[in-house]
A and B are shown apart, each in its own frame.
Chain A
Amino acid sequence: MKMYRIILGDKSSWTKKLRIMKLTVILLLGSMVAMSATTYSQNTRLNVSSKNASLIDIFRNIEDQSEFYFYFNKEEVKSKEAVSVDMKDEVISNILDQVLANTGLEYKIIDRYVVVKTKGSADPVIAMQTLRKISGKVSDASGATLPGVSVVVKGTATGTITDAEGNYNLGNVPENAILLFSFVGMKSKEIASGGKSTINIVLEEESIGLEEVVAIGYGTIKKVAMTGSISSVQGSSLSKRETTQLSSALQGTTSGVMVTRSSSSPGDGASIRIRGITTIGTSDPLVIVDGIPVGSIDDVNAKDVETMSVLKDAAAASIYGSRAAAGVILITTRRGVTGKTSINYNYEYGIEKPTAMPTYTRAAAYMKYANEQKWNDNGNVGTQYPVYAQDYIANYAANNLANPDVYPDVNWSDLIFKKNSIRQTHSLTINSGTKNLQTNASFSVDNIGAIYDNKGYKRINARVNNDIIINKYIAASIDLSVKRVESNAPTVDPVGVTRQTAPVYAAVWSNGLIAAGKAGANMYGQIEYGGSIQTWNNQLSGKMSLDLTPIEGLKISAIFSPTFNYDKQKNFTKAIPYTNYNDPNTIVGYIGSYTTTSLNEARNDGFFHTTQFIANYVKSLGMHNLNFMAGYENYYQTYENLGASRDAYELTSFPYLDAGPQTLRGNNGSAWEYAYRSFFGRAMYNFANKYYLQANIRRDGSSRFDPKYRWGVFPSFSAGWVLSSENFMKNLPVINYLKLRASWGALGNERIGNYPYQAAISFGSTALYQSGTATAVTTAAQTQYAIPNISWEKTETSDIGLDINVLKNRLRLTGDYYMKTTKDMLLALQIPPSLGFDNPNQNTGKMDTKGWDFEVTWNDKIGEIGYSASVNLSDFKSKMGDLGGTEFIGDQIKVKGSEFNEWYGYKSLGLFQTAADVAASPKLYANSKPGDIKYQDISGPNGVPDGIISAQYDRIRLGGSLPRYMFGGNLQLDYKGFDFGLVFQGVGKQNARISSTMVRPLEVAWTNVPTILEGKYWSINNTAEQNLKAVYPRLSENAAGANNYAMSDFWMFDGSYFRLKNVSLGYTIPSSISNKIKLQSLRLYTTVSDLFCISHYPKGWDPEVSVTGYPITMNFIFGVSVKF
């Protein structure tokens, strides 16, 4: 005999209903079914009027009007004939007496429960117990109270919901009953009442498991039902990273997602590649926030993220067909929750400090090396002190003390770079929900300093997400987010030049005035006094959506989301005159060659909007579960740029156009548009939650293509098989869950500029004499070759995957192997330069990527210590196919058969050690000397070595340049109020190159000498034994560019690294204390990012940093989080 609960529509909110559904689950365990009600006085007057209604309808009607719960056996009640009743203003007993009169049923009212049963049958257990009252409070691990938690007496219908303060009161609880606490997103908990009258309880967050709901394109799905490859990340674990840019927080979180930074400059994000490189053009993933595509993942504040899903394979991503070839990242932002009101304030103070900084020689050593270099370049004839005389060097230190203006010895790096910088973040989140309106509002302010002066980044983010339930059929949401970024920087990036500047140039004279530096190249003067580039980026975006549920299972949504961008920039470059140290009144020249003060302003505005109509229908027919989705999307974007400038400002404190002379004015403007339109659909089917099938199709049309080649169709298919549900697997108790997945799909790409098929005429300006004066004339020319039949690039992906949970679901493994083939790749075809055009984009080329992702997670608890650990590992290799005759040749190449960006250069045979060796060897540089790099003669015009080293015949492929075996992992521990997290990340294998910027000394005969060179370069002053051990070539400007710093395997090394990404420790003050000071909770925490890194990089260099860019920094962050 099977009993079940009828779900009733009622006047309460949907969210409340969700909780009631929880209650339902519990009731299934018992033998009776209840209906909910809120008014149960037996004297309440009710109106019941219906013709030929089923008994169940009548019970429902009563429940709607009152708080009575009906208990009955459905089979018994359903079999009874329909009755007609018309009673007004009657008490329940009168109504039931009449209704049940000829049914053979009887009823019994116990408190607010109405038990309906066959006459004479046994009473349900419920009434047989001694009843008592239990009350208590429910809170979460942080100590915050939880309103809306369902508390049910196990096996009965007795239950309630916690109030706004998390308190509950249960009457009529049988002796020795078990209380069951459940709440969405929390682990359910059972507690034996054991005769107690007060039970306080802490609920823990539900661990990420199979029941977890994951965002997929235009919908959500339970993880168990996934057939594609999707990784999801909780927002909380991203915000814990404490990066200002969301992109950087992704590093190491997910397998198959390669995140690379090149700097920690305030405001800089990271580049994200999902499952490697699929195209030569843009491989940035598509980022969707709350269903709407956005320009950059960094438009979202990490603290607003509720969940993030990474759609990795075609089956998962192809619903976004057009632009999903490089993968899709779906972000949902935090939303309001009914019945829960809280204010959360968070403050963070952080100190940033470069992970590594290269060092350079000081004056005496510098002069010594400069002499050696020049002497080498003069053929080692004449004086060995060709640049700086011997006694000049010998006396330099003493002279420097006496007269630093004439004998400077400046450590430019120390002068310009500070030891650390400060960042601060304030954020406030307000969450509140009534049954018709749920709101989550967040507001945050970041203020980030830099390690050199006049650079900073301020950001204000605000977001309000509202969900409105209008009635049973209609719901709406209105979201609004605002971002303002204000950044400030010197007019030049000082990092590279600061390191280059030799110590023998003065930055500031002893009289305090700005010194010449190297003939006006004085980075210190420039960043301190040279003006600034100020940028303001403002973004306002909104989203309105309307959801209709006309019939059960069908949801129709209409969504409109506009975004406004308004960016403003002022580049005010000031002329900084400098003087001689002994003549402060005479201007000698201007720092950085800026002889005039000029202002360049830009005002760029953009507007984009997305419109979507989506219908979703869910239906279960017995064991067959169906889910259909169909949709339409339209996107439009327009941008207009405006620039204006004036030059030769007399005043340096008025960065406004009017303050400059009218004679030297400039201005410019440009604009573009882009639009696409898509139709898409999805069908998901599963049988008995065992066999899953999914099909997607999307048809996209883009304004970037000619109408004839505009539309592309992108289908995908996937299937999943839950083996663990099969009978033959049930005997293997170790395996709790096992699913096989397979998918195939096609994706598109069209990111190639806005009008690639059109032969556009671009305008310019030049001058001709007219009436004796130079007069501007407009020029017009087609600069780019146009290929009219250009169309979609397509990437096909096949994926097979495995999900397995063992050891009571504590150990979870997910693995995928995939193959991607990109065809008709859009790439700038290298056309013969003699054609006279810039290279056009063309559908040509093919490339393949093969790779795998693997993720293992372990969750458990030892006593009160909860812990979890996860490790991910992934790898891919991209091979170039036929590129339609195009080759990308440089230090890295992309040619048929090569890897993507494979190193390309000479094969070195070490350093020339003797003149005889030089004389007898083929050479790249005719004037090579011992100490230069020796290369192998690979081939020549006739296919055999020709006795000279040439770029055309002697360069070979030297192995892939991309990182391999990227790994990441984390460990989480919690014990009582403490929580601890650790994240690591790294690269298992990479062919890296020592860039010449890191090691090349005295470039153009004057740049600084890196200290890593000292004692390690080939020198004519060394013994032969010492030179055999030399790892860098001799000092020579002539041989440097021509020979030594050409790309060769001489400069390659093992670029693998392991980085301790993040360590965090938090402590939540026990609620007993925080409640006393009227707080819901109080958490203190500290986080350290990028604490250390193990690598083979030369001393002073971080594996990720760009060689001339802002350093990667480690952050020490202290934070406090208060919840009211």
Chain B
Amino acid sequence: MRRSDLPIPLLLALCAAGIWALFATAPAAVVQDRFLVVPWGWTRALGALILAIGGVAGSAWLWGRSRRPLRAGRYALTAGTHLFLWTAIATTFYPVIYLLAVSFNRNDTLAGSLPREGPLWVRAGILPDPSTVSLEQYRKVLSATHVVPYQWIFVAVAVAGLLTLIFVSMAARAERIPGHRADGYRRTAGFVLFGALAALVVSIGPGQFYTVAADGTRVPAASDRTIVLFIRNTLLVSGMTGLFAVAISTTAGYAFARMRFEGRYQTLLTFVFVQMFPGFMALVAIYYLMSYLDLINTFTGLILAYSGGAIAFSAWIFKGYLESISPALEEAARVDGATRWGAFVRIILPISVPMLLFIFLLQFINTYSEFILANTLLIGQENWTVGIGLRNFTTGRFDTQWGALAASAVLGSLPILAIFYSFQEALTGQYQSGGVKG
């Protein structure tokens, strides 16, 4: 070790000692009105943060100075950036971690009194008591789900696909397999997962959710035990809406992007302005339209009700994307004798697959979180989506079972998390390539 390296461990040790001292000399926590208070606690926390930042940045600066004197500042800045980003991540993740902790907890309410024993953060209620960890809530929430034998195959295939995806991603990051290979594997695994999930979604029915009464009869399960059914309903509705949006809006986007015709501007304006109407305020009108078409309490009706807004927005995005693609490809195809429609299907669609995926995912994610329209058009509990089911935990009754709510929330978020992260490149990549213009 060079002599100039000595100050770094010294600096780090000093900072660590400072932080330890700040916490060790903190006054005992006082109970004040059912809260645990450390008087002037924020000064210590702030001090610790400053020491941490100073220590890390300072060490980085010193380290930089010994290696590359001119770039020392850059090193400090980088170290500071890392620290800041981790702080941001910690802040963002706190609610998520708390939710997970509540879901893995035996106790059922959020409003219990503070525990007596345990480390400070447990006694203060910052996080639930880890000693009461259990799978009780998940067991409760999944207890009424009965999987028909052939569906286990789909589940197995889906799990296999998911594991492959994760494994390949990790291997690619560790650079064990070349990038393009990894992409190929990921794509196949993604399709396998998607296919298995689609099969599951279509095949699961409300009849599989029951509890068995004392005399052996099947009693349909109550709403706080059927989160899997709600997830299935939501996946079905969101998936179909996404497919619908893609199917209908691509031709419209193409027309706007490539063709010039009288009334193009006006139609474009109509598309833009019509989508500004807060869709669900026409709730009563939509309801009567659906009941006239005999589509009340059906998923078809709900999907069609979503389609109006979905199509306008998707067409606009697709148009923007197409405008950034050179028309030379189609020209070449037309010169070779293809019709306009042929060029569209054989040239444009294949190269816009990333954008189509993006549109699908965007609509999927948007409809996943929509619930006012779903709440009105879907009446019975067997048709509820995740949002309605979760809301029923807090408004449909007087006593909120927070543990079951948390478990259901975690389960309800898993599909969209999985989809979001599997297609993260597609989702965020569109913004990167500048494909989305106003």
Instruction: Answer yes or no: are A and B bound together in one complex.
Output: no
Residues of B within 8 A of A (CB): none
